[in-house]
A and B are shown apart, each in its own frame.
Chain A
Amino acid sequence: DTAVSQTPKYLVTQMGNDKSIKCEQNLGHDTMYWYKQDSKKFLKIMFSYNNKELIINETVPNRFSPKSPDKAHLNLHINSLELGDSAVYFCASSQSWGTGRSWEQYFGPGTRLTVT
């Protein structure tokens, strides 16, 4: 039973298109995240949501819009795709995010996006 799942696993599309990546967690966690792993394998946070509210937005272009319909889902919608958006996108979740302590994050399998 997969804890954090993402769809699709692979996504190939052309420049200028709009696409979405879906993420679901069945761990009962309150907080979800999106990370981007670029071609050099460097992982960087993009967004985090706690109970459907935005917590972190790491100066990501506004072509990227996360949407959290409920606390078990955090989808990533990307408008007007560019070549530089090609990367692996990882979703993660944690029980909470509260200040004063930290919470272990669990990662999904990733979505490899290729923009041609």
Chain B
Amino acid sequence: KQEVTQIPAALSVPEGENLVLNCSFTDSAIYNLQWFRQDPGKGLTSLLLIQSSQREQTSGRLNASLDKSSGRSTLYIAASQPGDSATYLCAVVGYGNKLVFGAGTILRVKS
């Protein structure tokens, strides 16, 4: 059974810092991995999707890497801003396009 773990559970940083969010999964038989952002009381916004054959994806200040063999992914956020404050969710995709989510990392960027 696939299990996804995200570390840390919460993170508070001053504006401008670069930061790394970690995601690990137990079963490497995945099709892809998605990083989402969830603002309080809102839905999920897809940030980056990495296919299982890829090693990383970049979008603006975000960079996500995937090491399928070791069951790890990281989300790197450069030059963090207060508007980045949200919960970041990692999800792996297996058979049937089923997403298995981690519990999330709550990020607070202080101005």
Contact = CB atoms under 8 A, between A and B. Distances in A.
B42 A105 contact: no
User: Interface majority SS on B: helix, strand, loop or mixed?
Assistant: strand
A71 B12 CA distance: 42
Contacts, number: 58
Interface stretch (B64-72, B73-81, B97-105): B97-105
Contact of A103 (B36, B45, B97): B97
Interface residues of B, number: 25
Contacts of B44: 43, 90, 107
Contacts of A41: 87, 103-104
Interface residues of A, number: 27
B101 A102 contact: no
Interface of B: 31-32, 34, 36, 42-46, 49, 51-52, 87, 89, 91, 93, 95-101, 103-104
Interface of A: 31, 33, 35, 40-45, 48, 55-56, 90, 94, 96-97, 99, 101-110
